[in-house]
Structures are given as structure tokens and as C-alpha cells.
Amino acid sequence: DTEVTQTPKHLVMGMTNKKSLKCEQHMGHRAMYWYKQKAKKPPELMFVYSYEKLSINESVPSRFSPECPNSSLLNLHLHALQPEDSALYLCASSQGGGAGHRDTQYFGPGTRLTVL
């Protein structure tokens, strides 16, 4: 089973709202990722958690706040977003946090976020 689940599937929020995106995997993977994808563009890496610790932050604005409560769960807390933050937010996981076959990334279906 290579399933990564994400909720909600769709989210519409105003610029003053606070919301959270959730990601879950039960493959025993120890690395989890957040990506942002705009239309007709490839995914852009935002954050990497390796063994539940934040290992990469790609200079993402502080209005995006990641959290890894345990090895199966990854959250992305959103606050005071801008309309240009509207995108597909993808979660991915891999067995390890380095390189190699163990680190092949498996993606979830994404949350489509619209900021009004």
C-alpha cells in the first residue's frame, strides 16, 4: 500500500482565516514533505520533515506553519494567506530522509486551496 491521504480535498478561505491541512500515511515512512503546485507548473518543495524533525524549510513565508505530531501525520497551518497562495498543496512521504530507492516519494491527492 503506497497511500498518502490528505484532507480536506478542497478549501476556500478568506485572508483573515486560520485553517489547517492534514496529511496521513501508514507506510512506516520516516520522511514527509509539503509541496505547493500552481497550474501548469511542477511541484515546489516547501518543507521536509525527517524523523519528525523539520530538516528543510525552503524559505517559505511564516504564514505557512508546518507541524509533525508523529511519524504518520503532517499538518500545514495556514494564517493570513494571500490570494496568490491559491494552489494545489501536495503532501508526500518516503521511507527515509536521504537519497536512494528508500527515498522514492509517494504523493497524496492534494488539497486545492482558494484564498479569497
Partner 1 sequence: QKEVEQDPGPLSVPEGAIVSLNCTYSNSAFQYFMWYRQYSRKGPELLMYTYSSGNKEDGRFTAQVDKSSKYISLFIRDSQPSDSATYLCAMSGNTGKLIFGQGTTLQVKP
Q: Which residues bind partner 1 (CB under 8 A)?
A: 2, 4, 6, 31, 40-43, 45, 48, 56, 88, 90, 94, 96-101, 103-110, 112
Closer residue to partner 1 in complex, CB, 43/81: 43
The rounded distance, in Å, linking the Cα atoms of 73 and 103 is 18
**SS3 label, residue 53:** strand
Closer residue to partner 1 in complex, CB, 71/80: 71
Closer residue to partner 1 in complex, CB, 4/68: 4
**Least distance to partner 1 from the beta carbon of 18, Å?**
25
Query: Considering only CA atoms, which of 84, 82, 53, 46 is closest in space to residue 67?
Result: 53
The amino acid at 18: K
**Least distance to partner 1 from the beta carbon of 73, Å?**
17
Query: Considering only CA atoms, which of 29, 32, 72 is closest in space to residue 48?
Result: 32
